[in-house]
Structure 1
Amino acid sequence: MKETLLFFLQGIPEMTGVIAFSLAIAKIPINWGKTILVGVIMAVLSYVLRSLSFFFGLHTLMILFLIMYYISRSGNVHIVKSFLVTFAGAITLGVLEYATNTTFFLLTGMTQEDLTYNQILWATLGMPQAILIILLTIIVSRVFKPEQKGF
């Protein structure tokens, strides 16, 4: 139960951030209520897919495909553009995760192996990149003014 809650503590903000960031760089207005709802749904789907006996990482590919499909259909953008912005959102999250984790390990002297025994710290370590991608989304959405009506 604790592991599930910790997954969602990190997963929901990250999914919401990736979706919102993808919408922002696609120049689609962000309806935060819908974006958070889709982020919750994607986090739940990710958890379910991750729990199944597929090979490691398949849940990530499936969720990215679903986000791409969602942006394409709901944002009324070409599937190629949807793929590119979804991929850019995932890469941005990965870069932010690398930067925040590296900074944390440098400041604390801990290693990734140290965190495998502390699930709470591991889950909360995911919060800075989730917050950063949401802040970056706000900045990007102000710089790249939405071209569409939104959804």
Structure 2
Amino acid sequence: MKIPLIALILQGIPENIALFTLSYAIAGLNFNWKRIVPLGIIMAFCSYLIRYLLQLLSFPFGIHTVLVIVLLFLILLLFCKASYSSAIIASLISTLIVIIGETLFLSILIPMFQITSEILNTNMVVRVLIGYPQVLLLFLVAFIVYKVRKRKSLQVL
């Protein structure tokens, strides 16, 4: 499915910032908003480009997810200085939580508000707003993971 640029900006960028926030928490990295926000924005545009190119080349839907996981892993490893194991675990778990959150919220919200695929494709307000619950979920999980990790590290001292 083609993603309009406005949906990328209003929904894709916040989702990818939330994805990086969660990845940071899972990888045990301290939140560094000066890194998380730009990396989330870059990741959103890279994901958009990956989807666009794969669609042009007629690759099956879902291949972009594998490439995004690899990209997230590489960014965590190379730019965020996460260890190899924490980068792979963080990228896999974060992406899994995105998929679970998206599936959960869409399966609840679409029938609840009687949203059709036509509405999703033509009404940008609905398309953007329906993605925000999963963004909030990602941030919530990230802060919970971060707080639990901090509490455990304080108990060890």
Q: Please give the range of the TM-score, normalised by the shorter of the 2 chains.
A: 0.7 to 0.9
**Structure 1 residue 138 and structure 2 residue 154: aligned?**
no
Letter in 1 for 2:142: T
Report the number of matched residues: 146
The residue correspondences of 1:2-151 to structure 2 (distance < 5 A) are 3-52=4-53, 53-54=56-57, 55=59, 56-112=61-117, 114-145=119-150
Partner of 1:29, secondary structure, is coil
How many angstroms does 1:144 deviate by? 1.1
Take 2:118 and 2:93, find their aligned partners in 1: how far apart are those partners?
A: 29
How many angstroms does 1:42 deviate by? 0.8
How many angstroms does 1:111 deviate by? 4.2
Q: CA RMSD for the aligned pairs?
A: 2.3
Structure 2 gaps, min length 5: none
Greater helix share, 1 or 2? 2
Take 2:129 and 2:8, find their aligned partners in 1: how far apart are those partners?
A: 10
How many angstroms does 1:114 deviate by? 4.5
Letter in 2 for 1:39: G
Contact 1:68–1:82 (8 Å) recurs in 2? yes
- TM-score between the two structures when normalised by the length of structure 1: 0.83
How many angstroms does 1:126 deviate by? 0.8
How many angstroms does 1:104 deviate by? 1.0
How many angstroms does 1:32 deviate by? 1.5
How many angstroms does 1:59 deviate by? 3.1
Letter in 2 for 1:93: V
Deviation >4 Å, runs of 4+: 111-114
Which region of structure 1 is more displaced relative to structure 2, 112-121 or 45-54?
Answer: 112-121
Take 1:93 and 1:50, find their aligned partners in 2: how far apart are those partners?
A: 16
Which region of structure 1 is more displaced relative to structure 2, 101-110 or 21-30?
Answer: 101-110
Partner of 1:109, secondary structure, is coil
